[in-house]
Structure 1
Amino acid sequence: MIKLNINDEVSTLRAVVLGRADSNGPVPKLEDAYDPKSAEHIKAGTYPKDEDMVAEMEAVAKVFEKYNIKVYRPHSIENYNQIFSRDIAFVIEDKLIIANILEDRSQEIDAIAHVIQQIDPSKIIEFPEAAHIEGGDVMPWGDYIFVGTYYGDDYSNYITARTNTKAVKHLQTLFPHKKVKSFSLRKSNTVADENALHLDCCFQPLGKGKAIIHKEGFLIEEEYEWLVNFFGKENCFHIDKREMYDMNSNIFSISEDVVISEKNFTRLNTWLREQGFTVEEVPYAEIAKQEGLLRCSTMPLIRD
């Protein structure tokens, strides 16, 4: 049995689900793109190739191996994008929450049935139909659960709005002893550098009391300021629009002081090392073209 345990983003990782990229299928039609960044690359003819993305994910698997982390992979579904395992489910405390994701992606959860079967069924939670949620918007952080959402009445107009306020309320019901703190994110179906697809596309807490943040990703200034005050301004690494677009906030913590980051994030990686982090650099620029990076493609199951 897998004994789930996740209370934050940075405690020492013991077990994780890592997505896969070996049979992504043909380049999607432009009208089928789920986000503006993928659309950009479809138009430009630079949409990532399976073999390049497989190589990138193998580099991450090697880092996990180096740190003795148990890695589960989804079973392969032919011609199906299975990279972003964080979207389909996530763990808070000892519960696995199965996300309500875009209908087209529903098979992804079946591909991790071999993992789910090892979890006590009483610890598996499915959200009600009307409560939409994806793991990229959810961050357990001690007494808090940070959640990215979009408050606007035009929520349904945005394919890039993935977690609604009903889901935020439902999370609070499920975890009454936690403070569920929501943040309204800037959404755009068409302009990639003005779209925070998930909370982890514009913010991420790190070990040592640090955090990465992109101010413009937040629609409400007070909510952004709350986070900066919570972590302390001197502990926040602010990223600009371009760095947000390149997914600098979407790195992944293996422990309080070890992170996996993209090798081209020079400014960020330099700062992380100055703060005393060990930075395991991997190539991930091809996967980034689909508006997701290291946090999106990993789903932690157990942290100490």
Structure 2
Amino acid sequence: MLKLHVKDETSRLRAVILGTAESCGPVPTLEDAYDPKSALHIQAGTYPLEKDMVAEMEAVASVFKKYNVQVFRPNVIKDYNQIFSRDIGFVIDDKFIKANILPDREREIEAIQYVLNQIPSTHIFRLPEDAHVEGGDVMPWGEYIFVGTYRGDDYADFITARTNEKAVQYLVALFPKKKVVSFDLRKHNTDPKENALHLDCCFQPVGTDKAIIHKNGFLKEEEYEWLVNLFGKENVFEISKDEMYNMNSNVFSIAPDVVISEKNFTRLNAWLRSHQITVEEVPYAEIAKQEGLLRCSTLPLIRD
């Protein structure tokens, strides 16, 4: 049996689900694009090739191997995108919460059923139908749970709005001892530089007391300020609109002092190293074209 344990974003990783790019299917049609960045690359003819994405994910798998992390991969479904395992569920404390994701991605959960079978059923939760959530919007951080959401009345008009207020309330009820803090994110259906698809597209803690953040990802300045104050201005790395577009905040921590990052994130990687954090650089620029990066394609199950 798997003994789930995740209290934060950076404690030493012991077990994780890493998505797979195998048999991810043909280039989607423009109508089938889930986000503006994928749409951009479909139109430009630069949508990533399966062989390149498989190679990128294998680079991550080999970093996990180096650090003795137990890695689970989804069962491969033919012609189906299963890269972003973070969307389909998340662990907080000893609970696995199945996400309510876009209906045509439901089969992704089935592909990790063999992992869920190793978790006591009393520790697996499913949100009610009308509570929408994806794992990229949910971040446990000690006594806090940070949640990205969209509170606008036009929620239904945005394919990029993935977590609603009902999901926030569900988490409040499920974790009564935690402080659940939600953030209203900027959404845009067609301009990827004006769209924070998930909270981890514009914010992520690293180390023990530091954070990467993009101000424009937040609709309310006071919510952005609250985060900056929590970590302290001197501990916050501000990323530009272009860096946000390239997914600089979507790195992944193996430990407080070890981060997997994209090799082209030169400014960020230098900053991490300046704070005595080991940076394991991998190529991930092809996968990034689908508006997801390292945190999006990993689902931590056990951290120390």
Q: Residues 207-286 of structure 1 correspond to what in structure 2 (within 5 A)?
A: 207-286=207-286
Partner residue in 1 for 2:39: 39
Unaligned runs of 5+ in 1: none
CA distance in 2, matches of 1:164, 1:208: 29
CA RMSD after TM alignment: 0.4
CA distance in 1, matches of 2:223, 2:98: 27
CA distance in 1, matches of 2:181, 2:112: 29
The secondary structure found in structure 1 opposite 2:276 is: coil
Corresponding position: 1:154 with 2:154: yes
Q: Residues 117-156 of structure 1 correspond to what in structure 2 (within 5 A)?
A: 117-156=117-156
Partner residue in 2 for 1:6: 6
The secondary structure found in structure 1 opposite 2:286 is: helix
Would the aligned equivalents of 2:10 and 2:208 in 1 still touch at CA under 8 Å? no
Residues 33-74 of structure 1, C-alpha deviations (whole Å, 9 max, x = no match): 000000000000000000000000000000000000000000
Stretch deviating more after TM superposition (244-253 or 204-213): 204-213
The secondary structure found in structure 2 opposite 1:289 is: helix
Partner residue in 2 for 1:292: 292
Partner residue in 2 for 1:101: 101
CA distance in 2, matches of 1:202, 1:139: 12
Partner residue in 1 for 2:20: 20
User: What code does the residue aligned with 1:196 have?
Assistant: A
Q: Residues 57-96 of structure 1 correspond to what in structure 2 (within 5 A)?
A: 57-96=57-96
Residues 202-222 of structure 1, C-alpha deviations (whole Å, 9 max, x = no match): 000011311000000000000
Q: Which runs of 4+ in 1 moved over 3 A?
A: none
User: What code does the residue aligned with 1:191 have?
Assistant: D
Q: Residues 156-235 of structure 1 correspond to what in structure 2 (within 5 A)?
A: 156-235=156-235
The secondary structure found in structure 1 opposite 2:3 is: coil
CA distance in 1, matches of 2:51, 2:129: 36
CA distance in 2, matches of 1:76, 1:231: 40
For residue 86 of structure 1, report the CA deviation from its aligned partner. 0.2
CA distance in 2, matches of 1:68, 1:29: 39
CA distance in 2, matches of 1:208, 1:131: 31
User: What code does the residue aligned with 2:6 have?
Assistant: I
Unaligned runs of 5+ in 2: none
CA distance in 1, matches of 2:86, 2:66: 22
User: What code does the residue aligned with 1:41 have?
Assistant: H
Would the aligned equivalents of 2:213 and 2:237 in 1 still touch at CA under 8 Å? yes
For residue 31 of structure 1, report the CA deviation from its aligned partner. 1.0
The secondary structure found in structure 2 opposite 1:260 is: strand
**TM-score, length basis structure 2:** 1.00
The secondary structure found in structure 1 opposite 2:163 is: coil
CA distance in 2, matches of 1:208, 1:71: 24
Number of residues paired by the alignment? 304
User: What code does the residue aligned with 1:185 have?
Assistant: L
Give identity over the alignment, percent.
Answer: 73
CA distance in 1, matches of 2:145, 2:11: 15
The secondary structure found in structure 1 opposite 2:22 is: coil
